[in-house]
Amino acid sequence: MTVLLWAAVAVIGGAGSVARFLVDGTVSAASGRDFPVGTLVVNLSGAVLLGLLTGLVAGPDAALLAGTAAVGSYTTFSTWMLESQRMAEERQHLKVAANIAGSLVLGVAAAELGRLIGAHL
Amino acid sequence: MPEPPLELALPPASGPSSGGTSEPALRSRVRLIPRADRREIAAIFAGGAVGTLARAALSEAFPRPPTDWPWPVFAVNMVAAFLLGYLVTRLQERLPLSSYRRPLLGTGLCGGLSTFSTMQVEILEMLSAHAWALAVGYTVASIAGGYAMIHLATAMVRRVRR
């Protein structure tokens, strides 16, 4: 619980947020779809990474920095919910269902995939 | 104040530390993302640092076994959803366009405060521990709660419109 550790949490959290912004922007621009693909890609890639880390990382400090700070800040729950609610306001209910159920099912599968990869490394 | 065009936002020699080698790489990457500039990135970084600190502090203060309700992540996700719904609605529908409030508070603070990956790993751990009811309850409560927070915050901002 040192000052240095928490300073690292802040810096890594800031960097993870910037990484999310860049990946989201790049994927959204490339896909050009009327569906939040950018957030989906960010959240699924983050779930794979965190699943991988849970099996690999040793020690509470490393878990805090790599898991909670880096991957935790890279993925987002709030934007996922906002985009779903805004699509529902536009009566795109099929897309809302796909965005919520798809993220959940693929997200748990992605975390499991990461864990399996970690177990075989 | 309207955002300056990208050419103005990225002067060729704005930072003392940025050498000539990194400049073309940054330019080409930023060009992929409309409206991105260094101050916007700095705002996201600052907001994300604060949001991550708050979430990490809560998680460290309240450690839990995988078969307990994950209050820290659940709480930050609900708060972040409410804040983001409030902020985005207010910025888009009530306030004059601001360049840095959305990246600082929305993309940075709310994005750093909330997390999807930790929630997915928590659900996976509940499933691995055969805590089926907890896994379903946590999933449903997170989705219904997060959606309700956005809806509530949006309605609050729109109701006071005059």
**pLDDT for residue B21:** 43
Given CA atoms B152, B101, B8, A29 in this order, what sign does their dihedral have?
A: negative
**pLDDT for residue B98:** 67
Closest CA to A83 of A105, A102, A69, A70: A102
Contacts of A86 (CB under 8 A, 6+ apart): none
Cβ distance B52 to A14 less than 8 Å, yes or no, reads yes
Cβ distance B32 to A78 less than 8 Å, yes or no, reads no
Cβ distance B107 to A81 less than 8 Å, yes or no, reads no
Which stretches in chain B have pLDDT values below 70? Answer: 1-36, 96-98, 161-162
**pLDDT for residue B129:** 95
For range A67-76, the mean pLDDT: 97
With beta carbons under 8 A apart, name residues in chain A contacting B51: 13, 17, 73
Cβ distance B59 to A68 less than 8 Å, yes or no, reads yes
**pLDDT for residue B112:** 97
> Average model confidence (pLDDT) for chain A?
95
A43 → closest Cβ in B32, B77, B117: B117
pTM: 0.85
With beta carbons under 8 A apart, name residues in chain A contacting B89: none
DSSP B103: I
Counting one residue from A and one from B, how many pairs have CB atoms under 8 Å apart? 189
- pLDDT confidence bin for A93, thresholds 50/70/90: very high
- Taking CA atoms, B111 is separated from A25, A121, B27, B57, B107, in Å, by 14, 31, 25, 16, 5
With beta carbons under 8 A apart, name residues in chain A contacting B121: 47, 50-51, 54, 111
